[in-house]
Amino acid sequence: MEFKIEKKATSSQARAGEITTDHGKITTPIFMPVGTAATVKGVFHRDLINEVKADIILGNTYHLYLRPGLDILHEAGGLHKFSSWDKPILTDSGGFQVFSLAEQRKITEEGCRFSSHIDGSKHMFTPENVIDTQRIIGADIMMAFDECPPGTSERSYASKSLDLTHRWLERCFQQYHKTEPLYGYYQSLFPIVQGCVYDDLRAKSANFVKQFDADGYAIGGLAVGEPAEEMYAMIEVVNAILPEDKPRYLMGVGTPINILEGIDRGVDMFDCVMPTRNGRNGMLFTWNGVINIRNNKWAHDFSPIDENSDCFVDRTYSKAYLRHLAISNEMLAAQIASIHNLAFYLQLVREARVHILDNTFKEWKENLIAILGKRL
């Protein structure tokens, strides 16, 4: 994998670049739609490519391991072939699920024991088998197995957890170097910086992960309940330490404003369920602000969903129509909202890239943030 920075902004840490993988190029900054269970919920690949213009999507190790299972994924020749997606894929390691399925987990030095939310069966994730699993899935970018402690964690717990995540990271890389890709194309492994909201732990973690000479570096454990300002402060601490010439991935973030603030602080890659999940629940992100399409106020508004978007759902459907579909629980509402929101997120990062390249990012960002935060 290759990363080339085309332009660094002058009054900002923002960068415009390009990642090259065996499944194609990714222009940065980039937003990656989340496709947990081998599908970006409700969106055809055709629309992801032509309308959303996604360069890369996510899959999830935890979910894919449980269903369809490794034998089927292996037999299919990996997730790309299984799902007929031939652009890049990044898989999360299941570390976040260790955190979000807190009631059923048992974390030990060895790894994490958990029971399936599907059938209650018992399983164990270790740094080693999580790498093996991601080899079978065949992600272009694999993620290290980490623990993602709650944003409200005490320092003592955050510190203990961080040390465990670091020991797991060493084992992830050992397994990574001991194994080969199964399907003939290269796979990267990104380490993950943790440390909750503690500057020194974040710095320690950034310095630790740096030694692994990875193709890219991730910042995890943010946007998990802490104030946005604390998240931004942590990004600054970490990005001051991470290598400049490698992509930086802020995991699970976030709102359009979070993304602009992240780009401003030198983040290159983002993913978040927000455009799809919130879209299914009636929330639309537009260039004029945020809409709850279920609100009564849109019932008679026959204007386009977003007149500043060139995505086909915006050219085709009105707010009043989409509201009707959403209120009626029609599945098309979820599809339209998901495509619209994803297209908006991708337009947002492409637009950011343009403004980085022509050196107008900072003022563009400041003006836009005031608009994007509005509730319409």
Q: Active-site residue 271, yes or no?
A: yes
Which tokens hold the place of 156? Answer: 């003592």
- Stretch touching RNA by CB under 7 A, among 68-76, 126-134, 276-284, 345-353: 276-284
CB atoms near residue 300 (< 10 Å): 9
Q: Which of 88, 111, 221, 247 binds RNA (CB under 7 A)?
A: 221
Using CB under 7 A as the binding rule, the residues of this chain from 184 to 213 that contact RNA are 192, 194
Under rule CB under 7 A, residue 327 binds RNA: yes
The 10 Å CB-count burial string (b at 16+, else e) for 191-200 is bbbbbbbbee
The verdict on 254 binding RNA (CB under 7 A) reads yes
Distance CA 326, CA 319 (A): 10
Shortest CB 330 distance to RNA, Å: 8
Tell me if 152 contacts RNA by CB under 7 A. Answer: no
Sign of the Cα torsion 272, 275, 280, 281 reads positive
Q: How far is the CB of 282 from RNA (least distance, A)?
A: 6
Question: Is residue 223 part of the contact set for RNA (CB under 7 A)?
Answer: yes
Minimum distance, C-beta of residue 256 to RNA, in the bound complex (Å): 10
Binds RNA (CB under 7 A): choice among 126, 134, 255, 309: 255
**58 makes contact with RNA (CB under 7 A):** yes
Residue 279 Cβ vs RNA, minimum distance, rounded to whole Å: 8
**Quick check: 37 and 60 in contact, CB under 8 A?**
yes
331 interacts with RNA by CB under 7 A: yes
- Residue 245: which of 9, 17, 10, 90 has the closest Cα? 17
Question: Considering only residues 89, 143, 339, 343, which one is a binding residue for RNA as defined by CB under 7 A?
Answer: 143
- Rule CB under 7 A: choose which of 273, 312, 320, 364 binds RNA: 273
CB proximity list for 360: less than 8 A, separation 6 or greater = none
Binding residue for RNA, selected from 272, 336, 339, 348, defined by CB under 7 A: 272
Which among 47, 140, 264, 271 is annotated as catalytic?
271
Q: Which is nearer to RNA, 184 or 225 (CB)?
A: 225
With respect to RNA, which residue has the nearer C-beta, 179 or 292? 292
Residues taking part in catalysis: 92, 271
Residues at the contact surface with RNA, assessed by CB under 7 A: 34-37, 40-41, 58, 60, 63, 92-93, 95-97, 99-101, 103-104, 117, 143-144, 146, 148, 192, 194, 218, 220-221, 223-224, 228, 251-255, 258, 271-274, 276-278, 280-283, 292, 294-297, 299, 327, 329, 331, 334, 375
